[in-house]
Chains A and B, each alone.
Chain A
Amino acid sequence: MAPIIRIENLTKKFASLVAVDRLNLDIEDGEILGLLGPNGAGKTTILLLLTTVIKPTEGTAFIGSYDVTREPDKARTLVGICFQEPKLLWVSTPWDVLDWHAKVCGLSSEERKKRVRWALEELELWNERHKIIHTFSGGMRKRVEIAKVLIQRPKIAIIDEPTAQIDIVGKHRIWNMIRALRDEGSTILLATNELYEADMLSDRVAIMHRGKLLVCDEPKKLKDTILGGDVIEVILEKNVSQKSLEELKKINRVVDVLTTEPNHLKIYLNQAEEVLPQITEFFMKARMPIKSIHMSEPSLDDVFAHYTGLTIEEAQRK
């Protein structure tokens, strides 16, 4: 079956900055694809290109069978977007914003009222439906923004940072609503820099860095690609030397060692339970007291680090 979104050599430049660099990606009908990467990775630019808000410098994308550069009007009929920053005028009310959005998307009067009410109630905005948005918190504004796409139920829902500024209870509610949207037939393209969100919601995750697609696969397969399936994180009381790092790498079953801080190590290895005593002994002998030690399975952050040499947090800072 043909993919519902086909991205071909998509490039977007802003002056000398290459925001999206020759991106090729297929998105299958009915899947949730997570676009994961730090701020500035090009995620939002891709979403704006797919919704025809901006034009590509080179390449194109097909939404269904419509080329976004040649048939943007038709492409937009299949797409709905929840922006990262809520796009709302301060004088508007949630009811007006959502009712108009439903109307412009072609919903009948009856269906419009039903869906707007449903979304406002689900997102706990019903009592505030006639209050002006100027008085709303960031989280409330974000809920109004995401309500647009939930009401529209488009064939392709593009969602940028769905739970930014939203509390943990609200996050879970929105995640469930996104899953329900997919179950009703929407394909979901989800941009996020939250690892847990990407891991939990996505059928596949595309990892982006500096405008380039590094890798795209199911979260589990991505984690399995890391040599050394386990991770031991060690925080030492003093900084670790290069020599010690080299010696550490020589321990049997240790695959790689990454320093995220001068005294903070991530050791990628196989069969961590068996190697752990050797590692603690190594630090004791080297007179480097351990402040804390933590053993875990690799996360998408480790996948990102594997491909870039940086954690997402570090990439964000840079």
Chain B
Amino acid sequence: MISLRKVWTVAERDMRMFLQYKFLLIMRAIWFLAQIALFGLVVNKMVSQAVQQAVGGDYFNFYAAGIIITMLYSTAVFIGYDIYEEADHGVIEYLLSVPVSRKELVIGRSIGGGLRSFMYVSPMMLFVLYIIGISNPLQLVVAFASLFLFTFGIAGFSITLAVSIKSSDRFDISLGVIDALIVRLSTTLYPIAYMPSYYANIAKFNPLTFAADLFRWGAGIESAFLTPPAIAVLGIVSFFSLFTFLGIFLHERKIEGGGWQ
């Protein structure tokens, strides 16, 4: 039986820990501003009228919504680095000794890792929504709920990766490569219609595509190139379920019993 109180206590710890990384938080915020105020504005001027129309009338809005998803991804994935930091300081042993089941621990960490990412990105999200405007609040609520699950899934994915790769250097390098592929093989920065078909076929199943298109739909961006919302929600729920389950399974198999050593 899983205790929600214990799950929340574990999640709360990860949220508090995140606030300690002030330098990271400031740098990520500067990165976001640079992407919006510099890159976004310049690229928007370079994009043809045809593309502007294809992505709902304004490429900048399309791009800004995508950048929010990359922010959610890059901050949710940070929980994996925490696991290595904890392994270095022996804190994993401590967490395994407290009166919390392994399932509660992994679910709590996925929720904490996701929720802290969502909370951190929220002001940026509101800023982007202010730029885009909100046309249908109900759609936005559905999108937000799905993005919650998306961040939990990303945190679960990061935990899965961290416990599967037993070297912080390899994890760091792997995450760099995954980051390059998962962002670029998605619709966060450009619409699927302009991708070569062999890339587009991969991008269709990318959780970042689901999340980005759902956020755009929630914000009222209308484009024929967006993933249908029902499919996007289903994709995110599947992604969340897969990596929460995998996280629990691998955590029990690899961490339990001293496997992190």
- A interface with B by C-beta (< 8 Å): 48, 51-55, 73, 76-77, 79, 81, 83, 85, 87-92, 96, 100-101, 103-106, 132
Contact = CB atoms under 8 A, between A and B. Distances in A.
Contacts of B99: 73, 76-77, 79, 104-106
B9 interface: yes
A91 B20 contact: yes
B93 interface: yes
A76 B101 CA distance: 9
A54 B257 contact: yes
23 contacts: A51-B96, A52-B96, A54-B258, A55-B256, A55-B258, A73-B102, A76-B98, A76-B100, A81-B97, A83-B93, A83-B94, A87-B90, A89-B20, A91-B20, A91-B21, A92-B17, A92-B20, A100-B9, A100-B12, A104-B9, A104-B13, A105-B99, A106-B99
B232 interface: no
Contacts of B16: 96, 100
Given A55-B256, A104-B98, 12 more contacts: A73-B101, A76-B98, A79-B97, A81-B97, A87-B93, A88-B89, A89-B85, A92-B20, A100-B13, A104-B9, A104-B99, A132-B20
A90 B9 contact: no
Interface string B68-102: 00000000000000000110011101101111111
Nearest to B257: A55
A53 to B, nearest CB: 5
B6 interface: yes
Nearest to A56: B257
B211 interface: no
Please name the 9 residue pairs, one residue from A and one from B, whose CB atoms are nearest each other, closest first. A87-B94, A55-B257, A54-B258, A91-B20, A51-B97, A73-B101, A87-B90, A77-B99, A53-B96
A89 B96 contact: no
Interface of B: 6, 9-10, 12-13, 16-17, 20-21, 85-86, 89-91, 93-94, 96-102, 256-258
A208 to B, nearest CB: 19
A87 B91 contact: yes
A79 B100 CA distance: 12
Given A91-B21, A92-B20, A96-B16, A105 B98 contact: yes
Contacts of A96: 16
Contacts of B96: 51-53
